[in-house]
Amino acid sequence: GFCLVCGDGRYGQLGLEMNCTCSPHLLTLTHSIADATAGHLHSALITERGELLTCGDLSHDKLCQPQNHPLADRSVPGVARLPHLTVVEELAHLRLVQASAAVRHTAAVTSDGQFFVCGQHFGCIPRPAFMQSQLDEQRTLCTLTRVLQVVVGAHHALLLTENGRVYSFICDDPRPHKRYPQLGQGPQSPTRNTPMLVCEPHPNSVGQNSVVPNSVGQGRPLVATTLSAGQNHSVSWLDKQHNAAFAFGSHKYGRLSHEHETLASFPTKIDCGSSAG
């Protein structure tokens, strides 16, 4: 596939030698593009060969590239940028199939279901989001299987596994007193970087989205076919046959598409209307 870019390019996030363009420009690359994602000040693309390419602002290690990269442009005082799409050599031995970029992070999934994260808290060398011992332990606790999709928001990430289960985790340095309703883990959101299974609220829960924990808590695991993450909210969607979507996180600016208070700490169903068939 081809890739068209437009918008602000001052930090090299367009992969072009221009600071801004209002009209779409075609990127000239050696190989076709299989996936593309835009972060706040950076971009990430995956080629048909499974390579991860990044460009843009080098801060926070979000490009999966070292700060002293030989192609880095430091002509603007206080700014280090990578103005051209550059292969992430640390993952060159793997075949990547999907990527997601946000404010301070980039994440990617391999063809065999591994997932890697780089950026704030994780560093510039992309690695499995957790040490192998932690990942093995978490598999035992909540049967984390092969990952099909990873999406990142400003402070959190979601994983979709091959059995349709959804997991969430914090991808910044955890803050013990900060609430993370976008994790969908209930009013007492965990402050760990380990993936946790996302569940619907228990049918008998009372005050499920209140800041006060309830005695019933989580119900059955949330099932989805695709995920999306915003800055402080998350959305999951089940296929057209079931016509079900769930949102959780901050409701500021009407992000959750349903009447609610200020936040939804458990997945809350969105009325999608009747199925198109």
- Indicate the pLDDT class of residue 57, thresholds 50, 70 and 90: very high
Of residues 113, 131, 114, 112, the one with CA closest to residue 122: 131
Determine the Cα–Cα distance for residues 14 and 4; give it in Å rounded to an integer.
9
Comparison of pLDDT for 181 and 81, the residue scoring more: 81
Which pLDDT does position 60 carry in this prediction?
Answer: 92
Which pLDDT does position 138 carry in this prediction?
Answer: 40
Highest mean pLDDT among 15-29, 87-101, 210-224: 87-101
Which pLDDT does position 259 carry in this prediction?
Answer: 54
Chain segment 242-265, per-residue pLDDT in tens = 678 888 888 664 445 555 556 788
Residue 239 pLDDT greater than 50, yes or no: yes
Which pLDDT does position 114 carry in this prediction?
Answer: 87
Of residues 126, 96, 125, the one with CA closest to residue 110: 96
Find the mean pLDDT for residues 103-129: 84
Q: Report residue 132 as tokens.
A: 């192998």
Q: Residues 241, 233: contact at Cβ < 8 Å? A: no
Find the mean pLDDT for residues 150-162: 92
Chain segment 6-27, per-residue pLDDT in tens = 999 999 999 988 888 889 999 9
Residue 159 pLDDT greater than 90, yes or no: yes
Q: Report residue 10 as tokens.
A: 């001052």
What global pTM score does this model have?
A: 0.83
Find the mean pLDDT for residues 169-195: 75
Q: Report residue 199 as tokens.
A: 């569940």
Q: Residues 275, 240: contact at Cβ < 8 Å? A: yes
Which pLDDT does position 211 carry in this prediction?
Answer: 37
* Mean pLDDT over the full length of the chain: 80
- Indicate the pLDDT class of residue 190, thresholds 50, 70 and 90: low
Find the mean pLDDT for residues 89-105: 94
